[in-house]
Structures are given as structure tokens and as C-alpha cells.
Amino acid sequence: MDILFVTDPLASFKAYKDSTYAMMREAQKRGHGLLACEPRQLVWKRGGKVLAGGAERIRLNPAQDPHAHDHTPWFELIEVLDLTLADTDAVVMRKDPPFDPEYFYATHLLGQAEREGAKVFNKPAALRDHPEKLAILEFPEFIPPTLVTRDAAAIRAFHAEHHDIILKPLDGMGGTGIFRVGADGLNLGAIIETLNQNGAVSVMVQRYLPEIALGDRRVLVIGGKPVPFVLARIPQGGEVRGNLAAGGKGVAMPISPREREIAEALGPILAARGLLLVGLDVIGDCLTEINVTSPTCFQEITDQTGCDVARIFVDALEAGVAARG
């Protein structure tokens, strides 16, 4: 089948660690055709269907070792074409955050493509309905003490109650904009002003979880079922953030009983809403985020454990395409 990946520019990929690359590699191994475009290339005109203008049909270079960090191109461009999304077998939305207005508009174009017959994963409406910070509010039994507000006084009261807190923007990614404030309250006022922009922007505040020292653990859920290994992203050098983009060290390990409990509770619910791939972030016993836009960590888990996450994903993608007829 032909699979269209809606993603960031191919030239920006770090093939040695990119999860979308791992998906593509497994799909090509099975004989599927690979196509790619960026969200900016999606076009709709009355009387026609949503198309990807200037989509690229590619073939991965089997001679390139993504871990060698050499300059061998990781793909070969076969052709450039205007491609109607409904004419593909599957569309995989893999654009990285931020979930800004253009991302939002892209989900509506992908939703229109669905109405025209395209099979899109993750489902565009589900991407809109599950903002990655706020989606946890539906599952309060699994999350730490959490506050979402614009109100500086409410944040100060939360700090007075819990003494050690984390503040983060609702639209952040990769650990950007995350602050910790301890019992002394040092710089709390300045941090609130920075994040809530004098009451104009909502902020998430959570009780600090000391278990972060053991890692912010990424639990991948594919087709409603947890992958048996997780990636613990462990803060380095005095950081409170474990995100790999913020310098965290990724260590793969078997899923814990608590992580499995959370994943098995949420997985079927989220899968039924059209979320084929989800990344749950768990610190200690607590769920802290539900990532749905472009969850990562495929290659790190596979390289360290031998568990082929991309194989699990493409199995689920093929099943999802068949289920949608």
C-alpha cells in the first residue's frame, strides 16, 4: 500500500533516532510505498479533494547506516507529484508540535480528506480533542495534584499547599518553559509573570514529583496496547527536565506494573477515539502527559532492548487500514 507521511521537512530528520524514519524503514521492508509532504503543502479547492501539492515519493537508502552519522543521504527522491490524499492507502500525521494555529488548520484539512475517503492516523479530530498537557484532566485518578489557571493568586495558593511545584506552559514541547519552585518560593512571582503573561495565558502547575530522578518514563501505547518496554528519560547535570531535547539520558527498561495499569486503562479508550499511537509520560506512579501528535522513542527502545517498536506500529497501521475498509 502507499503511505503518505505528513511530517517535518525530510532534510531535518536525524535518521539515527527519528521515530518516523523507523516507521518508514519498517513499511518499506514490507513492500509499502513511501510518500511525504509537509502540512503547508495540503490544499483544498471547491470542486476537488484535499491534495498534497508537490508530495515526494521516496525510497530509503539501504546502504545508509543511520547510526554512522555519515553524510550518505538517507533517502532517494523518486518523483514529485500532486497527490490526492483519498487516493493513498493511509495518511500518517507526524508533524512535530507546537500545536499552533497552522497545525490546527492542518487537522481540519485532514478531516476533510477523511470525509473524502482518506484513512488518517492519528485521527484529526482526536488530535484536536487531546491537547497533550490537558488530556490528562480526564483521568484524575492517575495524575498528581494539578492546577490549570491564569490566576497568579491561585498559583501562589497551590505553592503554599504543596511547597515544591512545577510550572509549565500548555503549548510547550521538549521540556521548554518548565520551571521548578521549591519551598522558599524563590522567583515564583517572576516565573508566574513569564508564563501567564499577566493573566493572559493559562498555565499548568503540578506538585513536584521527586521520582523524576529515576526518569520521566515514556510509555508507548499502540493500537490500544502498551509496548512492553519504556524509555526512562533521566535528567542530567542538575536539570529537573528529563526530556531528551533538554539533555536527558534515555534508558530503556521493562514496563512497570503501575505503568501497565495506566496504559491498559487508557489504551482502549484512546484507541476507540482514533488514536493509533499514544505516548504516555509517567513519573513515579503518576501520569503527567498524554502525547498524541508525534510520539517518539521508537529507536531508543529498539536499540537497547531488541523490541521492534516500528514493527508493532506498522502491524497496527495495517490492521487499522483493514478495519476502516
Confidence (pLDDT) at 204: 97
pLDDT of 243 strictly over 80: no
Confidence (pLDDT) at 62: 79
Confidence (pLDDT) at 70: 62
In sequence order, what are the beta bridge partners of 302? none
Amino acid of residue 53 = G
Lowest-pLDDT range, 67-81, 162-176, 273-287?
A: 67-81
Q: What is the pLDDT confidence band of residue 246, given thresholds at 50, 70 and 90?
A: low
C-alpha cell at 33: 510505498
Q: Per-residue pLDDT tens for 107-124?
A: 999 999 999 999 999 999
Q: Specify the pTM.
A: 0.94
**Torsion angle of alpha carbons 271, 103, 114, 132, nearest 10°?**
10
What is the mean pLDDT of the segment spanning 72-100?
95
28/175: higher pLDDT:
28
Q: What amino acid positions are annotated as catalytic residues? A: 133, 168, 218, 233, 241, 281, 289, 291
Q: What is the pLDDT confidence band of residue 171, given thresholds at 50, 70 and 90?
A: confident
What is the mean pLDDT of the segment spanning 73-91?
97
Confidence (pLDDT) at 63: 67
Domains and CATH numbers, the chain: 2-122 (3.40.50.20), 145-208 (3.30.1490.20), 211-323 (3.30.470.20)
Q: Per-residue pLDDT tens for 116-167?
A: 999 999 999 999 999 999 999 999 999 999 999 999 999 999 999 999 999 9
pLDDT of 72 strictly over 80: no
What's the rounded Cα separation, in Å, for the pair 136 and 44? 34
Q: Per-residue pLDDT tens for 32-67?
A: 999 999 999 999 999 999 999 999 999 999 766 776
State the average pLDDT for the chain.
95
Nearest residue to 22 (alpha-carbon basis) of 271, 226, 303, 305: 303
Q: Per-residue pLDDT tens for 200-236?
A: 999 999 999 999 999 999 999 999 999 999 999 998 8
Confidence (pLDDT) at 69: 62
The percent of residues above 90 in pLDDT, for the chain, comes to: 89
pLDDT of 257 strictly over 90: yes
Angle at 161 between CA 288 and CA 140, to 5 degrees: 30
The H-or-E segment that residue 66 falls in is: none
